[in-house]
């Protein structure tokens, strides 16, 4: 799914910048063998899984954990997730960093940057912003709606 040339670039990028481990939890379900009328299909679940398998193969620092929610529906409730495919990044980040849908097109770059930033726990934000965020006393839920192109 990822062109060979891009794989080479990302492998080098990870080798240089990805110095700490990161876990990617993917909540997905396999493509059904037959279409059940009335059941909502997860159009990009399979592609997202293949994409993340390819990305995680580019660095030993990246661990991919695939949760099959058809097999274990309670995994969604445990992770407080309502939609799939859902991707949760865990490294040295303090808060939750998640992605819903396939991180393709423009968002692919975002995926790679996310992996590096979450692993290091470094946000590139100013000291002032970091202090303000550290002083939050209530929970904040940011939703950023994007399209792949």
Partner 1 sequence: MAIESHRITADVVEASEFPTLSDRYQVQAVPKIVINERREFLGNRPEAAFLAEILAAVE
Of the candidate residues 6, 46, 98, 108, the single one contacting partner 1 (CB under 8 A): 98
Which is nearest to 68 in space by CA: 115, 31, 100, 35? 31
Residue 23 or 93: which CB sits closer to partner 1?
93
Nearby residues of 2 by Cβ (< 8 Å), 6 or more positions away? 10, 51, 54, 55
Query: Least distance in Å: CB of 105 to partner 1?
Result: 9
Which is nearest to 66 in space by CA: 40, 29, 116, 118? 29
Which is nearest to 87 in space by CA: 58, 110, 60? 110
Residue 63 or 106: which CB sits closer to partner 1?
106
Of the candidate residues 44, 52, 74, 112, the single one contacting partner 1 (CB under 8 A): 44
Residues near partner 1 (CB under 8 A): 43-44, 83, 92-103, 107, 110, 117-118, 121-123, 125-126, 128-130, 132-134, 136-148
């Amino acid at each position: 799914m990822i062109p060979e040339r891009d794989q080479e670039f990302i492998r080098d990028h990870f080798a240089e910048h990805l110095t700490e481990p990161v876990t990617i939890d993917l909540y997905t379900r396999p493509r059904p063998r037959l279409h059940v009328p009335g059941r909502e299909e997860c159009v990009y679940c399979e592609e997202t899984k293949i994409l993340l398998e390819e990305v995680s193969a580019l660095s030993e620092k990246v661990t991919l954990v695939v949760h099959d929610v058809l097999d274990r529906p309670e995994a969604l409730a445990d992770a407080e997730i309502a939609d799939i495919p859902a991707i949760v990044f865990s490294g040295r980040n303090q808060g939750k960093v998640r992605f819903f849908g396939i991180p393709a097109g423009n968002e692919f770059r975002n995926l790679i940057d996310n992996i590096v930033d979450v692993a290091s726990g470094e946000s590139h934000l100013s000291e002032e912003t970091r202090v303000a965020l550290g002083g939050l006393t209530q929970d904040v839920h940011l939703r950023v709606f994007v399209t792949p192109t």
